[in-house]
Structures are given as C-alpha cells and as structure tokens.
Amino acid sequence: MYEYEYRRAGTLEEAAALLAEVEDSRPLAGGMSLVPAMKHRLARPARLVDLNAVPGLAFVERTGSELVIGAMTRHEDVALSPEAKAAIPALAVLAGGIGDVQVRHRGTIGGSISNNDPGACYPSAVLGLGATVHTTRREIPGDAFFTGMFETALEPGEIVTKVAFPIPDAAAYVKFHNLASRFSIVGIFLARFGRRVRVAVTGAGPCVFRASELEARLSDDFSPAAVEDVSFPPDNLTSDLHGSAAYRAHLIPVLTARAVQQCLEAG
Ligand code: FAD
C-alpha cells in the first residue's frame, strides 16, 4: 500500500471541502473495494475522506412513487429493509446476494455504483429501473451514470448522496455468479412499468448495459418464450477464466427468461 492521508468528515460539506483540498482524494465508504485495490497498489489516492461519520446518508424510505436509498446504506440493511421488500423486492434480493456477510455489513450502495465494477450487482438495478443518482452537485439519470469499466459520470470530488428508484409494476434480479466472490458472471435486472420493459445486463461486458432487443420483445409479449430463443451477439462481451464471451451471450436470454418467469410467478 502506498502512503496516504486519512481524514474523517463530520458533515457532507466538510467531506466535499476535504476532497477539494487535495488532488487525487477519494471518498471512503465501506472500503470493500477501495482498500483491497490500495493494498494491491491498483489505487493510489493521496487522501481518503471517510464518509462513515457523516449523518443522514444511511436510510431506505419510500417517497410517493420512488424508493430512495441513502449512499451509505449497507447492503445488509437494504436486504432486510421492510420498505425495500415491500416496494421493490428484487432490490432486497439483489442486496442480500452480494458477497458474504462481512461485505454486506460494510459495503454501501454509493460505493458500489461509484466503483462500477463490471461484475457488480447494483449498477444493473440503477440502469434497469432507470433510477436517478443524486450527488452533492446534481442529479444524474441512471442511463448516463455508468460510462465504462470502473468509470462513471462522477467528477473528481463529487459525492453520491442517494439513489431514487422508480417503483415498477414488477422486477426481478437473476444472476449467474462466481461461486467464490458472488460477483456476477452474468446478472440480469429486469423491470416492467406497464407495457414498458427495461433489461440491464451486468457481468457480461466491461460495463453494465441495456439489452434493447430483449426489451422490445418483452414489451410486445411479456413471456419467457419471447426471449429464450434469442441469439445474443457475443461481440464486445467479456472472455475470462469464468466464461467465454459466447457463454455469457448464451446466458443473457436464458437468465432474462428466468427473470420474466419470476415476475409472472410473483403476480
Ligand atoms: P468503497 O470500497 O469504500 O469505495 C469504492 C469506490 O467508490 C471508491 O473509489 C470510493 O472513493 C468511491 N465512493 C464510495 N462512496 C462514494 C460516494 N458516496 N460518492 C462517490 N464516490 C464514492 N459487489 C457486488 O455487487 N456483488 C457481489 O457479489 C460482490 N461480492 C464481493 C465479494 C467480496 C469478497 C468483496 C470484497 C466485494 C464484493 N462486492 C460485490 C463489492 C461490494 O459490493 C462493495 O461493497 C462495493 O463494490 C463497494 O462499496 P464500498 O461501500 O465498500 O465502497
């Protein structure tokens, strides 16, 4: 690990000021991705600004037609939240399937989406539900938030404060996961708003993306049969020790069909 300075912010304003003061400063949330990256010398922040003592960033609440989750809310708290389970059960399922107990008790939604790991689960929910990411500077539509592998629309020093998820008529998250880490080899977040269907795919490529052909078919006919025979092109998908691009391409319609089935069974 390279040398770095550690500062603990007491307010959001203080956190923003501490980040602005030193170039290459980074917020520290659960530390589940950032600290291992620093240990392996893959990240070299000059200053870490710890958000853990900042009040008001950890909550799950329903406001009208949205479920709003504070950036510092731990995965385990979303998994167990009665509000999440009632409004968007798929989101609670997603959070409960992340990593192991330790990761779920430390890791946060803000850290997960800001990190934008290609195999992370939450980015698919943000994209699949068309959520809005709120930051210290602006509101960013989910469709514009994830810009590439480990890259987002966030500017240096910008802090995610909360994520607002529109409540769909039905949703499901289905992932084929790495047995050791539980990161997605392919994960599908599917949401239906009336006849409009959104399908977000994580794990399969360098960055989460929407599967527009599957969305169009399901908007016409919301049934597993509408997608299970689709031949998904493997171009631009990932090949690694966990699976080839062709294998991942095969999994996309298969898991999407299972997600549809889950929505139908849930009524
Ligand atoms: P940190 O590690 O503290 O930060 C990550 C990055 O986000 C840093 O660059 C940091 O500066 C930035 N950041 C943090 N908070 C903010 C904020 N509010 N605003 C702006 N930038 C911010 N994830 C999955 O989705 N599915 C899995 O199955 C899974 N399995 C895992 C298994 C293991 C063994 C481990 C170690 C991790 C796993 N993860 C998995 C990742 C986990 O979900 C992490 O919690 C998440 O990636 C990062 O969240 P964090 O709160 O720990 O962020």
pLDDT tens digits along 46-70:
999 999 999 999 999 999 999 999 9
114 lines ligand 1 (CB under 6 A): yes
Considering the domain architecture, whether residues 134 and 30 belong to the same structural domain is answered as no
Considering the domain architecture, whether residues 43 and 65 belong to the same structural domain is answered as no
Is 70 among the domain residues?
A: yes
How far from 134 is each of 20, 58, 88, 263, CA to CA, in Å? 19, 14, 19, 28
- φ, ψ for residue 97, nearest 5 deg: -100, 5
Is 55 among the domain residues?
A: no
211 lines ligand 1 (CB under 6 A): no
**Element spanning 75, H or E:** helix 75-80
124 lines ligand 1 (CB under 6 A): no
Predicted pLDDT of residue 167:
98
Atom of ligand 1 nearest to the CA of 97: 28
Considering the domain architecture, whether residues 69 and 175 belong to the same structural domain is answered as yes
28 lines ligand 1 (CB under 6 A): yes
111 lines ligand 1 (CB under 6 A): yes
Considering the domain architecture, whether residues 38 and 87 belong to the same structural domain is answered as no
Atom of ligand 1 nearest to the CA of 29: 3
Whether the CB-CB separation of 224 and 140 falls below 8 Å is answered with no
Q: Per-residue pLDDT tens for 84-106? A: 999 999 999 999 999 999 999 99
Predicted pLDDT of residue 220:
96
**Element spanning 82, H or E:** helix 82-87
**In this model, does residue 267 exceed pLDDT 80?**
no
79 C-alpha to center of ligand 1: Å?
A: 16
> Which residue is closest in CA terms to ligand 1's atom 16?
111
Predicted pLDDT of residue 144:
98
Q: How many residues appear in the chain? A: 267
Considering the domain architecture, whether residues 96 and 212 belong to the same structural domain is answered as yes
Considering the domain architecture, whether residues 44 and 165 belong to the same structural domain is answered as no
Give the domain extent around 37.
5-50
pLDDT category at 182 given cuts 50, 70, 90 is: very high
CATH number at residue 43: 3.30.43.10
Strand ranges for the chain from DSSP E: 5-8, 25-28, 47-50, 60-63, 66-70, 132-135, 139-141, 146-148, 151-152, 160-166, 170-177, 184-193, 196-202, 209-210
Considering the domain architecture, whether residues 28 and 135 belong to the same structural domain is answered as no
Q: At 103, which amino acid appears?
A: V
215 lines ligand 1 (CB under 6 A): no
Q: Per-residue pLDDT tens for 230-244? A: 999 999 999 999 999
Considering the domain architecture, whether residues 32 and 141 belong to the same structural domain is answered as no
